[in-house]
């Protein structure tokens, strides 16, 4: 596992342009949604003083006024937001395909972009399958929690409810983690071998489930690295004074840097998983 961890880091460093690409992809939807929301607010409030008030203060009274007097226009905002969400999801699948192709075949970003377009249908199918499974897991955990809390409602121990809810949440998180790791390995295997979505998914379930016991610990190690970096980010952020314009600017730049680090961790995860598959096949 350690060899895949370090080799994945080196491969991610070699493919460093992928991190800014993924970072820009996460930043752009936020800017677009901000523009759409502000345009809608200006139209709904007819460029009134309230719309300018929101620039400096998120006054709750303004939002109450929107809900009471402009509720019929919320459908416009929700429709625009829904379309933006769908477009962003479709683009994000393609960007992940670029990252997987780049680290799996060790090619430049431009070459990976063309290859990613070829494997896009497979990646889209794998994404739909993963989202469906995650939804089933979340629904199953919620339903099981409802049943168990109903059965234990008469328990004299007030902690029983929290144990039930915590246990269901922990079980759902473990299954979602397994599905996520399977999804990553299925995408890498599909690129490496040209296997279709269902074939790649079945192979990845076997690989992560019992053939390669280091797959889950490897994913957890990179996840733990991200958690450590998040603690560092929060610690440094607490030292930045935001009472001045320069402090706010530094705080925003520090937050954007953390988003760039998270993008690099994503590439690192793909690279380490790809290296693990290569080591497994070599063995």
Question: For the whole prediction, is pTM greater than 0.75?
Answer: yes
CA separation for the pair 219, 3 (Å, rounded): 13
| Positive/negative CA dihedral, 270, 272, 276, 278 | positive
The pLDDT assigned to 41 comes to 64
φ, ψ of residue 88 to 5 degrees: the values are -65, -40
* Domain count across the chain: 1
Other Cβ atoms within 10 Å of 103 Cβ, number = 27
| Positive/negative CA dihedral, 266, 22, 26, 232 | positive
CB distance 215 to 181 below 8 Å: yes
CA separation for the pair 168, 48 (Å, rounded): 48
Task: Please determine, for residue 49, whether its predicted confidence score (pLDDT) is greater than 80.
Answer: no
The whole-angstrom distance between residue 19's C-alpha and the CA centroid of its chain comes to: 14
Least confident of 57-61, 132-136, 178-182, 214-218: 57-61
Least confident of 220-229, 236-245, 251-260: 236-245
Task: Please determine, for residue 45, whether its predicted confidence score (pLDDT) is greater than 60.
Answer: no
CB distance 217 to 5 below 8 Å: no
Q: Average model confidence (pLDDT) for the chain?
A: 83
The pLDDT assigned to 66 comes to 61
CA separation for the pair 231, 237 (Å, rounded): 10
pLDDT tens-place string over residues 53-68: 554 555 566 656 666 6
pLDDT tens-place string over residues 81-108: 677 778 888 888 999 999 999 998 888 8
Top-confidence residue, 151 or 49: 151
- What is the extent of the structural domain holding 256? 2-282
CA separation for the pair 273, 267 (Å, rounded): 10
CA separation for the pair 271, 167 (Å, rounded): 33
For every residue of 40-109, which 3-state class applies, written as one string?
Answer: HHHHHCCCCHHHHHHHHCCCHHHHHHHHHHCHHHHHHHHHHHHHHHHHHHHHHHHHHHHHHHHHHHCCCH
* Residue bearing tokens 């060899």: 3
CB distance 264 to 8 below 8 Å: no
The whole-angstrom distance between residue 72's C-alpha and the CA centroid of its chain comes to: 32
C-alpha dist (Å) from residue 110 to 107, 117, 156: 8, 11, 63
CB distance 190 to 122 below 8 Å: yes
Task: Please determine, for residue 173, whether its predicted confidence score (pLDDT) is greater than 70.
Answer: yes
């Amino acid at each position: 596992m350690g060899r895949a961890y370090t080799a994945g880091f080196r491969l991610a460093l070699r493919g460093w342009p992928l991190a800014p690409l993924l970072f820009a992809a996460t930043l752009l939807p936020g800017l677009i949604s901000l523009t759409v929301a502000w345009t809608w607010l200006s139209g709904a409030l007819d460029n009134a003083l309230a719309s300018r008030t929101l620039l400096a203060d998120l006054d709750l009274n303004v939002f109450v006024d929107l809900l009471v007097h402009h509720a019929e226009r919320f459908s416009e905002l929700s429709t625009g937001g829904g379309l933006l969400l769908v477009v962003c999801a479709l683009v994000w699948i393609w960007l992940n395909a670029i990252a997987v192709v780049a680290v799996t075949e060790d090619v430049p970003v431009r070459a990976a972009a063309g290859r990613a377009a070829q494997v896009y249908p497979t990646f889209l199918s794998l994404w739909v399958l993963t989202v469906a499974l995650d939804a089933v897991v979340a629904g199953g955990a919620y339903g099981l929690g409802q049943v168990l809390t109903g059965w234990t409602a008469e328990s004299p121990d007030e902690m029983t409810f929290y144990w039930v809810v915590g246990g269901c949440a922990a079980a759902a998180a473990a299954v979602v983690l397994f599905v996520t790791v399977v999804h990553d390995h299925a995408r890498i295997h599909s690129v490496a071998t040209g296997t279709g979505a269902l074939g790649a998914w079945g192979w990845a379930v076997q690989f992560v489930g019992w053939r390669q016991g280091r797959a889950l610990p490897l994913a957890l190690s990179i996840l733990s690295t991200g958690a450590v970096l998040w603690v560092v980010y929060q610690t440094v952020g607490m030292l930045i004074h935001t009472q001045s314009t320069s402090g706010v600017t530094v705080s925003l730049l520090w937050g954007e840097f953390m988003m760039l680090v998270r993008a690099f961790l994503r590439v690192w995860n793909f690279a380490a998983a790809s290296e693990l598959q290569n080591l497994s096949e070599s063995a």
